[in-house]
Amino acid sequence: MSNGPILLRSTLRLLLLALPFAPADAQWTQFGGPTRDFHCPAGELATSWPEGGPPVLWRRPLGDGYSGVLVDGERLYTLYRRDGREVVTCLARSDGATLWEHGYPVETTTSAQEFGDGPSATAVIAGERLISVGVGIDVHCFDKATGAVLWTLDIMEEFEIPMPGRGYAPSPLVYEGLVILTPGGTNPSNAIDDTPNLGLPGGAVIALDVASGDIVWASQDFPGSKASPILIEFGGRTHLVVFMGNELAGLDPEYGDLLWRVEHATDYGFNCSTPVFDGVDTLFCSSAYNRSAEAITLIATDGGFEATRKWASRRLCIHFTNMLLVDGRLYGVSGMARPGLLTSVDAETGDMVWRSREFSKANLLYADGAFLILDEDGRLALATFTDDGLELRGEVEVADSYAFSAPTLVGTELFVRDRHHLTAFDLSSSAKTDAPRIELGAPPLPVDVEALVGAYAATESDAHARIALIDGWLTVAFDADEPVRLEWQPERKLWEVVQDRTSGSTPREITFRRALKGPAPGLALRAYGQGPAGYERTP
């Protein structure tokens, strides 16, 4: 394929040109909400929370994955993984009951399993249709009411490309009868998780016909990334903004032509946080991996458009969570270490206003003058931000592991997804004080763990480990370290250290095996990209 757009027009597409540019109010029908920037349509929210947090409307288990939750009338939509299959599901908003599901088998990769097999992309609603994208770039279009499959397209098979190393993550976007995806072109040789130089040459960004699934255009050779695309209005036309492996770029969403581009490369070709627009002429993007936040100003010229850097700042280097722009301030959690640095930056100058170490990596929502914060450790908080810092108005622990998904707020109902559960909260000012609050307990243990408890010594070093049961959790302590919790992963048949997360240390996976001598088990420890290291049971 060439680097220019490849156009495959469909007459059916013309039937959907009347689809709205933005979803209706009081719904959440795409990644980032109605305006794709995590500013929320909210009702009258409580200005503070009681001890124990806001009331729980309902809570239900959900399979592995980080796909966000859509709200459309009285229905919710999301994706998860179970028994080697990705599942697209429709739930009742009132109680979380399953209304319909569709599952399909998906292979995964070792690096995709590092923090769970996904899926990660949030689906999108286009009229009466729901379009989802899985880790293997399997695109499905459903009748949103019945779950009937209207069409499918396997991008990997169609273009004969391999799965991205950690799986596909950008959320699809709908524009005038098109659903737009960013599978990525030829990858840079330093890509952190993909086979070098494999991708979709000339098809880094593609547009499908919502009505039929036909490929309408494929364009550009940008390396892939994990950031989701957005639409902005500037200079009298709509720009499709993509944050790819080495650049921030604007395309014509109807044909795929390049309008402007500015370089933004990281150490590993990894840009994860979706950019934001000030509504006038400036875009903001931010990355970790030895990069920075940047303000990019757009200029309309006689020949088209130009993009120039207004400022760059290493004060706000966002890893994979989101960034908010509110009243001239940018907010996000900076850094890859633990804890994170919740940071406020002046959008005009890039100067830091304040920092706080209150949270680990977190996604943010803005609603009704307040901020909702959900960090990767499962801490949910209500706060107000000023130029002097943040003021907490309430907090609660809502999850035990991997709360990577941004929550969804519609009206006064908040839907929080962690790796294994979906919880609905009542954030209204009139919430009942005697309503149930969330109570986290240890998960059920799938095997007789008493036989695993004990001391272990590494077979090829002086390292030691101790397995113990603490407060109903199976835990492991290495040498003199504090115990950390283990969580059973049934699909992979191993235990995972859930408290390592992504902040400053690599996740550890543990499998128990029969000892070389005697009946007592040993264990095999695997840190991502290393090992496994063997341990034997000691007296």
384 shares its domain with 494: no
Cα maximum dimension of the chain: 81
Q: Which domain holds residue 473?
A: 449-537
Q: Which class for 76: exposed (0-12), middle (13-18), buried (19 or more C-beta within 10 A)? A: buried
CATH of the domain at 380: 2.130.10.10
Contact (Cβ atoms closer than 8 angstroms) between residue 14 and residue 177: yes
399 shares its domain with 463: no
> Domain end: 426, 460, 480, which one?
426
Which residues touch 56 (CB under 8 Å, ≥6 apart)? 423, 424, 425, 426, 435, 436, 437, 438
388 shares its domain with 503: no
pLDDT at 500: 52
Domain-located, residue 433: no
Question: How far apart (Å, rounded) are the C-alpha atoms in residues 370 and 358?
Answer: 17
Helix (H) or strand (E) holding 155: helix 155-159
Domain-located, residue 437: no
240 shares its domain with 371: yes
Give the bridge partners for 139, in sequence order. 133, 153
Question: How far apart (Å, rounded) are the C-alpha atoms in residues 387 and 397?
Answer: 27
Question: How far apart (Å, rounded) are the C-alpha atoms in residues 124 and 133?
Answer: 9
Domain-located, residue 475: yes
Domain-located, residue 438: no
Query: How many C-beta neighbours within 10 Å does residue 414 have?
Result: 27
Per DSSP, helices labelled H in 171-249 are: none
pLDDT at 276: 97
Contact (Cβ atoms closer than 8 angstroms) between residue 80 and residue 67: yes
422 shares its domain with 466: no
Question: How far apart (Å, rounded) are the C-alpha atoms in residues 237 and 274?
Answer: 21
Three-state DSSP state, 508: strand
Which residues touch 303 (CB under 8 Å, ≥6 apart)? none
257 shares its domain with 168: yes
Three-state DSSP state, 450: helix
Domain-located, residue 432: no
Q: Tell me the CB-side half-sphere exposure of residue 426, using CA atoms within 13 A.
A: 17
What pTM was estimated for this model as a whole? 0.87
pLDDT at 432: 83
CATH of the domain at 460: 2.40.128.50
Give me Rg for the CA atoms of the chain: 23
171 shares its domain with 225: yes
User: Does 164 sit behind a cis peptide bond, omega within 30 degrees of 0 on the bond before it?
Assistant: no
Q: Which class for 24: exposed (0-12), middle (13-18), buried (19 or more C-beta within 10 A)? A: exposed
Q: Would you write out the chain's pLDDT as a tens digit for each of its 539 residues?
A: 344 555 544 433 333 333 333 444 469 999 999 999 999 988 899 999 998 899 999 999 898 889 999 999 999 999 999 888 999 999 999 999 999 999 999 877 655 556 667 799 999 999 999 999 999 899 999 999 999 999 999 988 888 777 776 788 999 999 999 999 998 876 554 555 544 445 566 789 999 999 999 999 999 989 888 999 999 999 999 999 999 988 999 999 999 999 999 999 888 778 889 999 999 999 999 998 888 899 999 999 998 999 999 999 999 989 989 999 999 999 999 987 667 899 999 999 999 999 999 898 999 999 989 999 999 888 999 999 999 999 999 999 998 767 889 999 999 999 999 888 899 999 999 888 787 888 877 778 887 888 888 888 888 888 888 889 998 888 888 887 888 888 887 777 788 877 654 444 455 778 877 544 445 567 777 655 456 678 888 87
Domain-located, residue 224: yes
Question: How far apart (Å, rounded) are the C-alpha atoms in residues 45 and 137?
Answer: 38
Q: Tell me the CB-side half-sphere exposure of residue 202, using CA atoms within 13 A.
A: 9
Q: Which class for 386: exposed (0-12), middle (13-18), buried (19 or more C-beta within 10 A)? A: exposed
338 shares its domain with 383: yes
296 shares its domain with 392: yes
251 shares its domain with 322: yes
> Domain end: 426, 461, 491, which one?
426
pLDDT at 96: 96
408 shares its domain with 465: no
473 shares its domain with 412: no
> Domain end: 377, 411, 426, which one?
426
Domain-located, residue 442: no
Question: How far apart (Å, rounded) are the C-alpha atoms in residues 161 and 529?
Answer: 24
Question: How far apart (Å, rounded) are the C-alpha atoms in residues 144 and 124?
Answer: 10
Query: What are 214's two structure tokens?
Result: 């036909």
The residue count of the chain comes to: 539
Domain-located, residue 470: yes
Number of domains within the chain:
2
Closest C-alpha among 318, 424, 431, 410 to residue 39: 410
